Amino acid sequence: MPADPFGQMLLRLRMEAGRTQEQQAAAINTVSGRDTLTRREISRYENGENIPTAHTIAHIAVACGLPPEQLQRVAAAARARRGNAAGCEEEGVGDVERRKLIGSAVIGAAVASEPWGRLAHALGRGSRVDAHAVGALVNRASALHVSENHLTARQLQGHVVAHLDAITAVLPHARDSERDLAVAAGETAALAGWIAWDLGDYPAARSYYQVTADCADVAGHPPLRALALTYASYGAVSPVRRLELLARAAEDVRGPGLATAAAWIHGRHAEESAATGDVTAALRALDRARTAYDYADPTAEQAWVQFMTPARMDALVLSVYGQLAHLELAEAADAASRRLGDELSEAGVVILGDLAAALLMGGDVDQGVYVARQFAAAADTRPNTMGRARALGIARQLPHRERELAAHLQACAA
């Protein structure tokens, strides 16, 4: 039996994208928003055993950076051949279309070796893409930020990179949807950078943050630039540089609908000011953060600020007060402990760490040890860079009788 031309074309498109069959299935599922396509089904398509449905073909096209209608025409010719309803002319059209598509399928993966490089290349090369696909990609970008609350960096990494590639493939054909896709691409790139930083790949993190800033420029979207700057502040090499980045970020989150982002950025500014010993600047920035948070609605604003729960705001306050040895530290720690209660998501490693450190520093040793044990369990389940940094500080504050817990936390920090 001769090789199926449509299957060969699908194989060639996947190879041009530099994907395995499993990765191709993941990229198509990212576009569709459903986890229904498997590696086996990709194999059946490429071997000519099955022809995808019209909906699946549209998703394949988007995942490979092609206008869906082009791939639909070739699929129609393949169906006609299979049903013995096509003459030589129809088959000839299929061959012409196939060569045309293969020749034009120079998508992001063929342009650069890294995801941020492919995205940088794709920005601004407008054409046309289906509005439904755009909406699915934008929604998926938001969902990935929410997923950070219950997935570890390593668990999330593959999903984020696959989605970034899917948006990159579509972006050259965006035209009227370019701004929405550029924002979604920037949000996804920023999350990829945060994950890279969390996993210790600092050069990759910087590259992702830079392309996020590029997306912000293309889209004319200052809050997106603020996201990149604030993420970058965690990994900046000096306190002065961190404060500089945060000051620039604060300029980009003025206006309605940005209260949560403003609270986060001012809270970070307060943390870094406290780290330098600038008490006045730290307390002023913390006051701005608290005022902004009074007007915040994390669930109704950007997806990337949904982590800024009241407990996370408490953690920022405790971080600042702890560094300053503030007189209200013990009171703030007690209030935060009561508000937190016994319920905390897996994302709460940082919150528990700040609370444990504050309780120990504030003199409530028994409660501090109790929370430190909770923190240690959470850090084992969900290891991350920020948690490791807090583990070492908590270990140093534990009483001598908690040598075993201190050793465990030091191991977490290693």
More confident residue, 247 or 126: 247
More confident residue, 315 or 186: 186
Distance of alpha carbon 310 from alpha carbon 316, whole angstroms: 10
Distance of alpha carbon 140 from alpha carbon 308, whole angstroms: 20
Q: Looking at residue 249, what is its pLDDT?
A: 98
CB 382 within 8 A of CB 349: yes
Q: Is the pLDDT of residue 71 over 70?
A: yes
Burial class (CB in 10 A: 0-12, 13-18, 19+), 280: exposed
**Which residues have a Cβ under 8 Å from the Cβ of 284 and sit 6 or more positions away?**
270
Q: Residue 373 is encoded by which pair of tokens?
A: 């044990």
pLDDT tens digit string along 215-264?
999 999 999 999 999 999 999 999 999 999 999 999 999 999 999 999 99
Residue 200 DSSP label: T
Residue 2 DSSP label: P
Find the length of the chain: 414
Determine if residue 277 is left, alpha or beta; phi over 0 gives left, psi from -120 to 50 gives alpha, anything else beta: left
Q: Looking at residue 411, what is its pLDDT?
A: 87
CB 272 within 8 A of CB 239: yes
User: Considering the entire predicted model, what is its pTM?
Assistant: 0.70
Distance of alpha carbon 108 from alpha carbon 316, whole angstroms: 40
- Rounded to whole angstroms, the maximal C-alpha distance in the chain is 87
- What are the structural domain ranges in the chain? 5-105, 111-220, 221-294, 309-414
Distance of alpha carbon 43 from alpha carbon 22, whole angstroms: 9
Name the CATH superfamily housing domain 5-105: lambda repressor-like DNA-binding domains (1.10.260.40)
As separate numbers, helices (DSSP H) first and strands (DSSP E) second, the chain gives: 21, 0
